[in-house]
Every structure is written in structure tokens, then in C-alpha cells.
Amino acid sequence: MFLHKQSLTSSLRLITVTLAAAMLTTAAGCSITGGNADRTPIPVAQPAPPPPAAAPGSPTVASNEPALVRINKPVPLAEGHPNEYEVQVGDTLWDIAATFLKDPWYWPEIWYVNPEIENPHLIYPGDVLGLVYINGTQRVTNVRASVYRMSPQARITPLTEAISSIPYEAVSAFLTTGMVLEKSQSEALPYILETRGDHLLAAAGNDIYVRGLSGESTGTRFNIVRVGEPLIDPDDNRLVGYQGIFVATGTMRRGGDPATVRLTQSTQEARFGDRLIPETVDVPMNFFPSAPSNVIDGRIMSVVNGVTQIGQYQVIVINRGARDGLAVGDILSVFQAGETIKDRIAGGSVVLPDEKAGTVMIFKVYDDIGYALVMEATQAIHIRDAVRNPT
């Protein structure tokens, strides 16, 4: 995966140069993180080979530094990886991990939290990340923070937010265009009891009466969804949930049972029995991509926008969830099932091997299902394709 180097705007350059000049004048000799001049700096990338590994059981870091994740085998680096990389606006953590690593899900094992930098767990545009050796172990760390995080004495609110793990605009689609409702969830959600006036159907500007909204405050916004086709687990034909069809948005005008909700936007008309879900963005955006801690072997059940062939940055639903040990940030490989063909020479049938078709990242997990974003698609991905631990 290649990243497009984006130049900073002229105004940002001017701010950077001005601030840097001021700090050099007033604090010459200080480190870029603004700490005490006597503080030992974090090592930067060196071309020298790594020293021998420490003996098993021996400490890996000084007591005042965060503990390192022990790496049982060398983390394979990406071909043509840089020694340093300056984070650009628009980068995601997946992009950066793929810049340094052959397999981006090893990022938690190679990332080192630089204690010299404020909010070291966050990465901002302008930060410079580099390959370093720390206590004999190869790591990636923030070797030079952006000018906006130089020191407590010269702290400026960043013009840009910290980078996210995945593109928000990609996963936000599932919040507004469709979703999967677990069986228990669909039965417990508030529902439209009646429309106000002589309308059998309601559109933007109409009021609806809703049951099950006790405890919600006036002004709360909701997504109105229709319970669609049942979703059957392809492994055991068990009903897992229902396809949720986005219908409208609305705002609660008056509490009670029933409560009054006014529709503010609609893609189709709402009707009796449609369900309401609070309009909240309950999706963490800053997490590390990693391999699952458990063995995962599932299948793709659904795709949010309803297409049959699935490509990069589309949201899929798989038939594995928290009960199976799946967690946010887990990376899975997608495999196309091998065809069953006839052997025209020896006779009989032969099942061809499964072929890897892409890579997905889990970003939301329920008990029995998980939402994943397609990060890479080397071949067309389809519903019912297998998802397994990354390879």
C-alpha cells in the first residue's frame, strides 16, 4: 500500500517556521519534546544491526518506562519500508502500519510509546515515526512530534485531529444506510404505534407516536429503521438477526408513553412497527489493528449497501462476535471457497483449495455478529466467503 505525500498548507508552514524560530531563540539546547535538557533522549533509528536478544526472563526496559510487548518472532517489515515517515493529513493507522510492516496487524507488537511526548498513544499529522532499536528489539516510535506538541511550555491546540485507525467516512455509512439488528435487539427496540393525523405513512415533517421511549429526553435524535429480511447463520441455519433498513431520522418533541417524535429527514415513508434507535456514533475510531486472540472461523453474512460483490472500504457483517472472542481492531483474512469440480481423468469430484481474497478489520462487535471494514480486496469478495485469522 502506498501513501500519497501531502504537503502542508502555506499557512501551516508559516506557523511552524515562526514557532520553531521562537523556540530555538528562547530554549536553545532543549529537546524537541521540551523536557529537561539533562533527560536521556529516546534513541532514533540507527543503521547498525541489533544487539543480541536479552536472556529469557530478563527485564526489557527500565522501571520508569512503559513495558514492551514481548515479541516471540521477528516482525516482518514491508518491502521498501522507510526508516522514517512523516504522518500526513488523511493517513489512517492502517496506512501507517502497512508502510512499515508486511502484515499491519503486528502493529501492537512493534509500536513503542515514547514517554518524552505528550499524549504518546495518539498520532498526529506532522509527527515523524521512525524505526528504532530499544533494548535490542526493533520498534516503531514517534521520534519527532509535530510542532504543535513540542512542550508544555509552548503547547498549541493542533489544527488537525489525531489520526484514526480506519476512514470514518467509510464506517459512517452503516449508521445511515443500513444495519443488522440482532434478534433480541429488534424485539426490544421502541416502535411506531401510530402516525398523527390521517396519515397511514409518515414522511419528513410528520409526527409519529412511539412506545418504549420512557427515560429519553426531549430533543433526542433517533434513526428509524425497518426490520427486513432474516439473517440466517450459514453454518447452522440459526436465526442470528434481521437486516435493518434505514427509513428516516426524527427528534423527540414530547415524552411519555406514547412519546411524540417528529420526522426530520426520510429516505422512505415510516409506518406502524418501524423501530427507533438513538442516533449515536458508538464506533471507536482509535484502536490498534491486531490478530484475534482466539481462533476465528466464520462467514460473511451481509453487506451494508446490499451489493453482491464487495470491495475496499465496504462494510460487511460476519457471523462471529464477542461470544467467539472477536474484538474491535481484530484483523481477519477473507477466503473464497474452493470450487468442487469433476476430475475428468481419474474420475470423482475434487474440492479446490480456498483462495485468499482480502483483509477486513472489525470495528464493532455484538454477541453473535461483527461489523468489519474491507481494508484490502485482491479478488472480488462475496457473501458466504470465509473469514479466518490473518495469514
Task: Kindly report, residue by residue over 163-173, the tens digit of the pLDDT.
Answer: 888 787 777 65
Q: What is the mean pLDDT of residues 122-151?
A: 82
Total length of the chain: 391
Q: Output the nine-digit C-alpha cell for 16.
A: 511552524
Q: How many CB atoms lie within 10 A of CB 58?
A: 8
pLDDT digits (tens, 9 = 90+) for 31-76: 333 333 333 333 333 333 333 333 333 333 333 333 334 444 578 8
d(CA 254, CA 216): 10
d(CA 128, CA 117): 12
Beta bridge partners of 373: 315, 361
d(CA 322, CA 328): 9
Q: What is the mean pLDDT of residues 77-89?
A: 93
Q: Could you give the C-alpha distances from 335 to 267, 294, 330, 332, 364, in angstroms and in order?
A: 35, 18, 16, 10, 21
340 closest CA partner among 350, 330, 353? 350
Confidence at residue 280, expressed as pLDDT on a 0 to 100 scale: 66
Q: Could you give the C-alpha distances from 35 to 15, 112, 122, 156, in angstroms and in order?
A: 22, 19, 19, 16
Domains of the chain and any CATH numbers: 10-52+62-163 (no CATH), 171-278 (2.40.10), 297-388 (2.40.10)
Backbone angles phi, psi at 33, to 5 degrees: -90, 0
d(CA 317, CA 280): 19
pLDDT digits (tens, 9 = 90+) for 303-315: 876 666 788 888 8
Which residue type is seen at 226? R
**Number of alpha carbons in the 13 Å side-chain half-sphere of residue 265:** 8
d(CA 33, CA 31): 5
Confidence at residue 49, expressed as pLDDT on a 0 to 100 scale: 37
Q: What is the mean pLDDT of residues 103-132?
A: 88
pLDDT at 151 over 50: no
Conformational region of residue 168, where left means phi above 0, alpha means psi within -120 to 50, and beta covers everything else: alpha
